[in-house]
Structure 1
Amino acid sequence: MEIFLIKLLQFILAISLLVLLHEGGHMFFSKLFGIRVEKFFIFFDVGIGKWSGKLFSFKLKGDTEYGMGWLPLGGYCKISGMIDESFDTEQMKQAPQPWEFRTHPAWQRLLVMIGGVLVNFLLALFIYSMIMYHWGESYVRMDKMSYGMKFSDEAKKLGFRDHDKLLGTDLGEFKDFNVDVYRDLSEAHTAYVERQGKTVSVPLPGNLNLLDMLKKTPQFARPFIPAKVDTVLETMPATEDSKTMITSPAYKIGLKKGDMILAVNGVPVDSYNEFTDQMGVLSDELAAAKTHADSMRICTVTIAVMRAGAPSGARTSAQAASVKAAAQDTASLTTPTTASVDTLKAVLTSDLKFGFAVASVPALYEKETTHVSYGFLQSFPAGVKYGWDVLAGYVSDMKYVFTADGAKSLGGFGAIGSLFPSQWDWYLFWKMTAFLSIILAFMNILPIPALDGGHVVFLLYEIITGRKPGEKFMIRAEYVGFAILILLMIIANLNDVLRWLGVM
């Protein structure tokens, strides 16, 4: 519950900030041109019965009512004389007034409509710049990753091998490992890797499915992480959201720092990547379990472990014997199979947690990590470049939204909230807020009626042709656009529910 609340608070804070500034962009240009803003609300004040739906509201100098509604799905800025999602058709029947949106020149109305998107985009660039200034930039060059990459079977069919170092493609050189690596690999015709000290080219088709590369388990390519225990927790929460502490299964069975995991339930694993894949298989089995006995059987896991301090060459010779012993061991807690390999049986938590950790990629390559610090003025070009790259990547991925798999990958409020870290981390919070600001800017500029982009299209038509679309047409278009948005919201949030239920 605590993790849920932390994520929820971060989500609400980020969305509130973004909505406040987005609507503030509309209001800034409205006030600048003398257009009346009737209401400026964070969250929607949907009335229930006799209650207005307002948590609070007030007026400063002028005609604008400021306030907060109870429904945290965004916010709005109600501008006089404008056809928007409020569908205030009665006002449009009155004689036009000089303070109304509809009586102002098209170029002024255009600036009012793009004001929110402009603020969101500039905000994202500013946040990224301040992140560069305060925290700098840390990364591990891919050619410095001594363990190389772990590839899926599909990637190996194309010619990749485990431990290959990805250097780049015919589209460009790789710097660090991020989603742009997948984007380049999906569109490239040749990849370049370092294999056993030599540069090797791997031919690619040029049309790999990016969603498949990211969503399939295991992923197309991941940094290779040895299955070497780095930390063992003595106690841990009984479940992810529980405050009840228990002795960790890893501590109970005597797992120690430096131990190397060789097999899970008799299945060999050559890396922590394969270990997590096997745990994912068990998780799927646990989700399908029908009885408590089935669940307990799945949660009882046997691992083969090469003890810390054993010669590195002992792994290969010991693995076959240890795997067989691990599969057959059903009675003893610890059964030595060779001088350096033990089989250990553990009863895991209900969410299949062991209570140990391996070195993360940053920790694994701590000495190889490059850190770049930026002065205040230097941070702006770096932040702008980073933000522009994020926007370009997001725009290029939009083509997948119009596919069946892309529609399934849409996420609603639950998916967005889950992106925030389970512990309050200001670096990750601001990075996620900047990313959401870019998403909000891009989604709002889409040419869909009821969005800012829809209004922009009609205004550009008016500027080019000199003819204003009729009010009846605008109202109908607003209804159509609003229906499209509601449908997309239902699909996205339904996907969240189906994922939560384990159906997707």
Structure 2
Amino acid sequence: MDILVMVGQLILGLTILVGLHELGHMLTAKWFGMRVEKYAIGFPPKVISKQIGETEYMIGAIPLGGFVKISGMIDESLDTAAMGQEPQPYEFRAKPAWQRLIVMMGGIIVNVITGVIIFIILTNMYGEPYLPAKEVKYGVVPNELGKQMGFQTGDKIVKINGKPFENFDDIYEPDVLLSKNGYYTVNRNGQEVNIPIPNDLMDKMADNKDQMRFVEIILPFEVGRVLAGKPADKAGLKPGDKIVKVNTLETPYFHNLQLALLANKGKQVNLSVDRAGQIINLTANIDEDGKLGFERAPLLQYSMRDYTLAESIPVGTQKAFGVITANIKGFGKIFRGEASASKSLSGPIGIAQVFGSTFSWQNFWFIVGMLSMVLAFMNFLPIPALDGGHVLFLTYEIVTGQKPSDKFLENAQKVGMVLLLGLMAFAIGNDVFKLIF
């Protein structure tokens, strides 16, 4: 049943996103008088289709994509039979380059609009959770940058620039980090101590992206959602468990657990687990990143900030484009060799696991909104066979006034298809490998 829920959410989410993406291409094409021969959600074999006017509307059996076939366009169908004849007025190739560019951008634009609208609505309906500063009862634990600033484990931040504050994340606000002669006030063993904010703090944080949060909250925790196929799942951990020891190292707080796991990454460990008041022993194989593979359920009381519709627009928009920013940073890490492609990229199985085995509309639409922005970003990549490849060639044509030959576009499309099929095979194989091992 859990698998059916995950697969069902994946298919529904992809159907919505692919349908809207291809609708963006179709509507802009029809707007400019181009003939749209086929609008398809999913890939063949055909499940159902209906001819309306000049366009066949089809649903395919493989729900991992879709396409729009526009007359006179070299696309993934590689149907070039009519390309040797004179262009007809209704064909893609007969239209001005700027119109063709808008058609190729149509799907990307619709996905961006969809993602932004979803995040705006979610922000308006559900608000935004935040951690009140008063809830950080156990203090903070600094990383190396935090130690250089003067923080000590157990410090409780009570003021920013001499004033009490409500939201704990306010300590990371740019106006705080950039404030002149700024300082934090901490309660350290009953005494108030001021910790100056260095003038070059932003530079130090920029030099080391892993130091962006110079302190972490000391968190009591329970095991939340256990990720399928991960070491936690294979070891038998369940939601509500409290890991009290890793081998002989006590783990009363989450940072203690993180340190213990990092010290044993790639190794087998014994876990002492408090399950409903009884201590049980489990054996787990920690992965190479020092993780077990579960979401923590922190025992802290979060508050909710509500937004009016007007307030939700900038907040939701920022959240939506934050997904694209995160993807750009992620690709940058992969290309620089700072992150593993096999651990960072997921295919349909990995995406289904993100949806989870339980259904909630809030979680479903959040993931759909996120995937919509990811789909827009991925399609904008300048790879032949993706929209971004067409955009690249059309931009070249507009700038130089010279259109690439049909033969060049056909060969570029073939190369792009091979790259995409290879990437898809890698992603699916990687999903299966992670699931098994």
Partner of 1:224: 218
Partner of 2:111: 120
Answering whether residue 27 of structure 2 is matched by residue 28 of structure 1, we say yes
Partner of 1:315: none
Deviation at 1:86, TM superposition (A): 0.8
How many angstroms apart in 1 are the aligned matches of 2:131 and 2:71? 53
Verify the 8 A CA contact 1:84 1:478 in the aligned structure 2: yes
Q: Deviations over 1:410-450 (max 9, x none)?
A: 22222222221331111111111111000000110111111
Q: Which amino acid aligns with 2:256?
A: E
Summarize the Cα distance change of 1:392–1:347 in structure 2 as closer, same or farther, 3 Å threshold: closer
SS of match in other structure, 1:90: coil
Q: Deviations over 1:60-102 (max 9, x none)?
A: 2x11111111112211111111011111121212332111100
Verify the 8 A CA contact 2:223 2:239 in the aligned structure 1: no
Deviation at 1:220, TM superposition (A): 8.9
Verify the 8 A CA contact 1:410 1:491 in the aligned structure 2: no
Q: Which residue of 70, 77, 87 maps to 1:79?
A: 70
Answering whether residue 195 of structure 2 is matched by residue 199 of structure 1, we say yes
How many angstroms apart in 2 are the aligned matches of 1:498 and 1:261? 27
Deviation at 1:37, TM superposition (A): 0.9
Q: Which residue of 386, 390, 394 maps to 1:451?
A: 386
Equivalent residue pairs, number? 399
Q: Deviations over 1:219-242 (max 9, x none)?
A: 996532226x799xxxxxxx969x
Summarize the Cα distance change of 1:416–1:266 in structure 2 as closer, same or farther, 3 Å threshold: same
Summarize the Cα distance change of 1:377–1:266 in structure 2 as closer, same or farther, 3 Å threshold: closer
SS of match in other structure, 1:469: coil
Summarize the Cα distance change of 1:81–1:420 in structure 2 as closer, same or farther, 3 Å threshold: same
Answering whether residue 426 of structure 2 is matched by residue 500 of structure 1, we say no
Partner of 2:48: 56
Superposition pairs of residues 34-49 of structure 1, within 5 angstroms: 34-45=33-44
Answering whether residue 355 of structure 2 is matched by residue 373 of structure 1, we say no
How many angstroms apart in 2 are the aligned matches of 1:250 and 1:97? 66
Q: Which residue of 69, 89, 98 maps to 1:98?
A: 89
SS of match in other structure, 2:137: coil
How many angstroms apart in 2 are the aligned matches of 1:486 and 1:230? 38
Verify the 8 A CA contact 1:444 1:451 in the aligned structure 2: yes
Deviation at 1:151, TM superposition (A): 5.6
SS of match in other structure, 2:64: strand
Verify the 8 A CA contact 1:19 1:74 in the aligned structure 2: yes
Deviation at 1:266, TM superposition (A): 3.1
Partner of 2:13: 14
How many angstroms apart in 2 are the aligned matches of 1:10 and 1:349? 33
Deviation at 1:175, TM superposition (A): 6.3
Verify the 8 A CA contact 1:43 1:74 in the aligned structure 2: yes
How many angstroms apart in 2 are the aligned matches of 1:359 and 1:500? 21
Superposition pairs of residues 14-413 of structure 1, within 5 angstroms: 14-45=13-44, 53-60=45-52, 62-140=53-131, 145-150=136-141, 161-163=152-154, 195-196=186-187, 197=192, 198-201=194-197, 204=204, 206-208=206-208, 210=210, 222-226=216-220, 263-275=245-257, 302=272, 345-347=279-281, 360-361=297-298, 364-366=300-302, 369-374=303-308, 376-404=309-337, 405-408=339-342, 409-413=344-348
How many angstroms apart in 1 are the aligned matches of 2:11 and 2:67? 16
SS of match in other structure, 1:387: helix
Answering whether residue 383 of structure 2 is matched by residue 469 of structure 1, we say no
SS of match in other structure, 1:68: strand
How many angstroms apart in 2 are the aligned matches of 1:455 and 1:383? 30
Gaps of 5+ in 2: 175-181, 225-231, 287-293
Deviation at 1:8, TM superposition (A): 1.6
Verify the 8 A CA contact 2:223 2:240 in the aligned structure 1: no
How many angstroms apart in 2 are the aligned matches of 1:199 and 1:407? 40
Deviation at 1:264, TM superposition (A): 4.8
Gaps of 5+ in 1: 46-52, 184-190, 232-238, 252-259, 287-297, 309-343
How many angstroms apart in 2 are the aligned matches of 1:65 and 1:249? 48
Deviation at 1:194, TM superposition (A): 5.5
Partner of 1:334: none
Summarize the Cα distance change of 1:85–1:141 in structure 2 as closer, same or farther, 3 Å threshold: farther
Verify the 8 A CA contact 1:165 1:193 in the aligned structure 2: no
Deviation at 1:4, TM superposition (A): 2.3
Partner of 1:314: none
Summarize the Cα distance change of 1:431–1:380 in structure 2 as closer, same or farther, 3 Å threshold: same
How many angstroms apart in 2 are the aligned matches of 1:200 and 1:97? 71
SS of match in other structure, 1:91: coil
Verify the 8 A CA contact 2:46 2:59 in the aligned structure 1: yes
Partner of 1:318: none
How many angstroms apart in 2 are the aligned matches of 1:493 and 1:159? 47
Q: Which residue of 425, 428, 437 maps to 1:490?
A: 425
How many angstroms apart in 1 are the aligned matches of 2:51 and 2:105? 25
Deviation at 1:391, TM superposition (A): 2.7
SS of match in other structure, 1:419: helix
How many angstroms apart in 1 are the aligned matches of 2:397 and 2:325? 29
TM-score (normalizing by structure 2): 0.76
Q: Which amino acid aligns with 1:14?
A: G
Moved more, 153-162 or 432-441: 153-162
TM-score (normalizing by structure 1): 0.67
Q: Deviations over 1:332-363 (max 9, x none)?
A: xxxxxxxxxxxx652559999xxxx99944x5
Summarize the Cα distance change of 1:385–1:280 in structure 2 as closer, same or farther, 3 Å threshold: closer
Summarize the Cα distance change of 1:19–1:220 in structure 2 as closer, same or farther, 3 Å threshold: farther
**RMSD (Å), alpha carbons:** 4.3
- Percent identical across equivalent pairs? 35
